[in-house]
Amino acid sequence: MIKIKVNPEDFVVEEVAGLPMRKHGNFCVYRLKKRGWNTVDVLKRISQTFSIPFSDLSYGGKKDKYAITSQYITIARQSADRVASAVSPSPKKDTKELARTQQALYPPTPDNEKWGDENYSMSLVGLMDRPMGPDLITGNRFQITVRDVADAELTQALREIECIKKDGFPNYFDDQRFGSFDARQGFIAEKIIKKHYNGALRAYFSGIHPEDSREEKEYRKYFYENWGNWHACLEGAASKFEKEAFRYLGKHSNGFVTILQRISHEKMGLFFSAYQSHLWNELLRKITHAITNGKSTYRNLLPTGAGIFNPAQDDNGCPSLVAMYPDTNQNSLPAQEVSHRSGGVHLTASKGIAGSYLFPSHGDEKITAYLGSLVIPMPASNIKMPDTFTKILYSDVLKTHEIKAHMFNTKKIRDGFFKGIERRAIVVPEDLVVDYSKDEIYTGNKKLILNFFLPRACYGTMLIKRIFC
C-alpha cells in the first residue's frame, strides 16, 4: 500500500503570495520555514520566546505539520523591534538593520543542512502596511513523494496523472480542514447554529481529534465523562481558560454562551470554517452521485442539453452506487475504499474523517464538462446556486443536517459566521511534473515524485487520493 509523509522531506510545501510591499510599514514580513510544526504552534513558540502578544503575529494559511513548509507571516512593528533587540541591544529602525538582526537570530536553513533543535527558521523579507492574511495567498507549490508504489500501481498512476493534467480532480476539502471534528460529538459550529450551546462547549473541551497524543485523549476523556460536575472538571483543569470556565459554570450552570464568547476569534473561525467546508463537500459528493446514476427525481433538473445521466442500473442489471449507499447519510459509504460501475461510469470512494470523497472515472466528456465548469458557493445565509439542479441538492443537504439557511446567521457568538465565497468543483494542477525511481526505504518498489502548483485552499493530498483511488 502506498505511503506519504514517511519523512517530513517527502512533503514539501512552498506558499506563493502577492505581497503589497512598502518602503515603510507597520508590519514586518518574514519567510517562515518549519519542519514538524503546525503553523499555530510555532507562532505560539515565537510569541512565548520573545514575550510578544500572539495577536501581533499573523499568517495566511495553516501548513501541514508532518512536512517541510515555508510561508509568509507578519509581526507588528513594535513586537518585531523587540525581537530584533534580542540580538542587538539597540537596533536601528530601518529595514536593513532589522533584516540583519533577524537573519542572525533565525538564519535561513539550506535544504542540505541539519535543522536545529527548534526545527524552524525565519528571515525578514520586507515591510507591509497591513498584516498577512489568506487573501494575499495565490497558492502553494508542492513536492510530494509517494513511497512503496508497486509496479502495477505505478502504471495505473501514470495513466491517471495524464487524465488529471487535462480534466483536473474534485476540489474537496481534505481531512486537514477537519481537525476540530470529533467523531462522537460532531462539529462545534453545527451545535452552535442549532443553539446546542452546552453540547458545543462540551465538544470544545472534550473533543478528541486524530492527531491528539494518548495523554491528550485521556485528558479530554476526563472532561467528557465528568461534564456537568463542574467541581470535578475544575480539579482536572490545567489551563487558565479551563479553570476560569469551570469556575464560572460552577456559579452559573447555564453560562455556556458566555464561555463560548470568550473563545478566541481565530479558534471560532476555524470551527465555523470546518463545518462550512464539510457541508460543501457533502454537496459536491451528492452532485457526483446524482449525475452518474440518474435518479428519476433529478433527471430533468440539469441545464438544458447537459444530458449526462446514466441509467440507475448498469448493463448487467446491477444497482448503482447510490442505490447501494444512500447519499442522504454522510457516513453511508463503507469504511474501506470501494468502487462500482454505474452506467459505464466507474465510481470510487475513499473514507475521510468527516465523510467520504467520491471520484468519478475519466472518459465521460459530458460529466467532465459539467463538473469542470461548476462553481459552487460555500454554504451561507444568502447564496445563489448556479442552477436548479444544485439548488435542489443543496436543499437536500441542509435537510439531512436539519438546518435552514437563516440559521447560518449567528448572533450570540460574535466570531461565528459563514462567508458565501465561491469554490470550483474541479481544480486542475498547474505545472504538474512527475518522476519516479527505486524506493530506498521500501526496497523492491518505486517512489513517485510529483511537483505541481495549486491555487489557495486546494489540497495536494486530495490529488494523491484521486491518483491512487
Where does a domain end: 243, 266, 289?
266
269: confidence class by pLDDT, cuts 50, 70, 90: confident
* 139 strand-pairing partners: 16, 455
Q: What is the structure's pLDDT at 290?
A: 86
- State percent of the chain over pLDDT 70: 81
Q: Which of 51-55, 120-124, 319-323 has the weakest average pLDDT? A: 319-323
Q: Is 400 helix (H, G, I), strand (E, B) or coil?
A: helix
Whether 468 is in a domain gets the answer no
**219 shares its domain with 333:** no
Whether 383 is in a domain gets the answer yes
Q: Is 333 helix (H, G, I), strand (E, B) or coil?
A: coil
Whether 158 is in a domain gets the answer no
Where does a domain end: 266, 300, 324?
266
pTM listed for this prediction: 0.84
Whether 441 is in a domain gets the answer no
Report, as an integer, the average pLDDT of 291-318. 48
**337 shares its domain with 417:** yes
Q: How does pLDDT run across 344-402, given as a tens digit for each residue?
A: 567 788 889 998 999 988 777 888 889 999 999 999 988 999 998 899 999 999 999 99
Whether 453 is in a domain gets the answer no
Q: Which residue has the higher pLDDT, 99 or 323?
A: 99
Whether 349 is in a domain gets the answer yes
**193 shares its domain with 334:** no
Radius of gyration of the chain (CA): 24
* 382 strand-pairing partners: none
Q: What is the structure's pLDDT at 420?
A: 80
**66 shares its domain with 93:** yes
**420 shares its domain with 331:** yes
Q: What is the DSSP string of 92-136?
A: -SSHHHHHHHHHHHS----TTSPP-TT-EEEEEEEEESS---GGG
Instruction: Tell whether the model's pLDDT for residue 198 goes beyond 80.
Output: yes
d(CA 118, CA 252): 43
* Mean of per-residue pLDDT scores for the chain: 83
- In 125-264, alpha helices (H): 151-167, 188-193, 197-206, 214-225, 230-236, 240-251, 256-260
Q: Which domain holds residue 393?
A: 167-176+278-427
Instruction: Tell whether the model's pLDDT for residue 93 goes beyond 50.
Output: no
Q: How does pLDDT run across 124-163, given as a tens digit for each residue?
A: 899 999 999 999 999 999 999 999 999 999 999 999 999 9
Q: What is the structure's pLDDT at 309?
A: 43
**289 shares its domain with 254:** no
**33 shares its domain with 117:** yes
313: confidence class by pLDDT, cuts 50, 70, 90: very low
Q: Which residues are within 8 A (CB) of 206 and not within 5 positions of it... i.e. 6 or more apart?
A: 182, 185, 220, 221, 223, 224, 227
**301 shares its domain with 340:** yes
- CA-based end-to-end distance of the chain: 11
**257 shares its domain with 285:** no
**75 shares its domain with 36:** yes
For the chain, what is the domain count?
A: 3
Q: Which residue has the higher pLDDT, 245 or 111?
A: 245
d(CA 445, CA 146): 11
Whether 255 is in a domain gets the answer yes
Instruction: Tell whether the model's pLDDT for residue 26 goes beyond 60.
Output: yes
Where does a domain end: 242, 266, 290?
266
Report, as an integer, the average pLDDT of 29-38. 92
Asked if 251 and 245 count as a contact pair (C-beta separation under 8 A), the reply is no
Whether 299 is in a domain gets the answer yes
CATH classification of the domain holding 54: 3.30.70.3160
**305 shares its domain with 193:** no
102-123 burial by CB neighbour count: b if 16+ within 10 A, else e?
Answer: bbebbeebeeeeeeeeeebbbb
**242 shares its domain with 326:** no
Judged on CB neighbours under 10 Å (0-12, 13-18, 19+), 211 is exposed
